[in-house]
Amino acid sequence: MREVGFIFDLDGVIVDTAKYHYLAWKNLANELGFEFTKQQNELFKGVSRKKSLEILLDLGKVKATQEQFDGWMVEKNVDYLAYIEKMDESEILPDVPKVLQFLKSNTIPISLGSASKNARPILEKVNLLTYFDAIVDGNSVSNAKPNPEVFLIAAKELGVSPENCVVFEDAVAGIQAANAANMLSIGIGDKEVLHEADYVFTDFTQIELEFLKKLAKV
Ligand code: BG6
Ligand code: MG
């Protein structure tokens, strides 16, 4: 067993894709005849695509047949992928490469732990795929966050026991999943929203090297 492993959520931690998810859901909502606000989009953070559509249809009081539901899932994703297509390294959130580089140079294993089924193409687009020793995403799990499954699989793939894993997350459901997995949870975002996390930082620029060294046991 390795001594320590690091697990990163993708959307809102490595890249700010929430704005593209928002635009794609908004396009669908408008097509179905209702508005969808940025504030409502907060409810979608860390939530699976299927659950997100269920919430969206509830918000718009729209009833769907299974066929319509499946069609809208595809439609939203095709739209989202068109935004992703234009992404490049400039969309990586501040100091993320610095932290990944620090871990890599200390041979600390790194995994992705994301709900997204689009994680791989996004990491490729922003040129970060090579940092990851394991990719655990929406295609690998059957239970969405706050279920700890995604992080437990990541720990297993890294060969690190869960209690020696550190998780970076921006969503409440993600922090709850990390806590349920018995891992150290680090919130990236608002202290009040992410109050269940062991530590919270507004972004990676706020994380001191000394703190990282302590977490990485180097
Ligand atoms: C999460 C996002 O990371 O992935 C959610 O925070 C999104 O907003 C979910 O719904 C699923 O993503 P995708 O790319 O599979 O639709
Ligand atoms: Mg996230």
10 lines ligand 1 (CB under 6 A): yes
CA distances from residue 42 to 12, 19, 39, 193, 215 in whole angstroms, order as listed: 11, 10, 5, 11, 29
Specify the pairing of strand 134-136 against strand 110-113: parallel
Give the type of residue at 58. D
> Is 170 considered catalytic here?
no
Average pLDDT, the chain: 96
Which pLDDT does position 1 carry in this prediction? Answer: 55
For residue 66, pLDDT over 70 is answered with: yes
Give the type of residue at 92. I
Per-residue pLDDT tens over the stretch 154-166: 999 999 999 999 9
**30-69 in b/e burial notation, b at 16+ Cβ within 10 A?**
eebeeebeeebbeebbbbbbeebbeebbebbeeeeeeeee
Give the type of residue at 158. L
Per CATH, which fold does 18-84 belong to?
A: DNA polymerase; domain 1 (1.10.150)
Per-residue pLDDT tens over the stretch 81-91: 999 999 999 99
Choice from 7, 11, 83 to test ligand 1 binding pocket (greatest atom count within 8 A of CB): 11
Which pLDDT does position 43 carry in this prediction? Answer: 85
The residues that bridge with 113 in the sheet, in sequence order, are: 136
41 lines ligand 1 (CB under 6 A): no
Q: What is the DSSP string of 108-124?
A: --EEEE-S-TTHHHHHH
> Is 9 considered catalytic here?
yes
Choice from 7, 10, 42, 48 to test ligand 1 binding pocket (greatest atom count within 8 A of CB): 48
Specify the pairing of strand 110-113 against strand 184-188: unpaired
For residue 111, pLDDT over 70 is answered with: yes
Per CATH, which fold does 5-16+89-216 belong to?
A: Rossmann fold (3.40.50)
pTM of the model: 0.95
For residue 2, pLDDT over 80 is answered with: no
What's the DSSP call for residue 140?
T
For residue 145, pLDDT over 60 is answered with: yes
Are 188 and 172 contacting, i.e. CB atoms less than 8 angstroms apart?
no
The residue assigned the tokens 């069609």 is 71
Per-residue pLDDT tens over the stretch 163-211: 999 999 999 999 999 999 999 999 999 999 999 999 999 999 999 999 9
Handedness of CA 124, 185, 181, 56 (dihedral sign): negative
Helix (H) and strand (E) counts in the chain: 9, 6
Ligand nearest to the CA of 174: 2
Per-residue pLDDT tens over the stretch 72-83: 999 999 999 999
CA distances from residue 209 to 9, 81, 99 in whole angstroms, order as listed: 20, 35, 9
Q: Any idea where the domains of the chain sit in the sequence?
A: 5-16+89-216, 18-84
3-state secondary structure of 8: strand
Which pLDDT does position 9 carry in this prediction? Answer: 98
Per-residue pLDDT tens over the stretch 206-217: 999 999 999 999
48 lines ligand 1 (CB under 6 A): yes
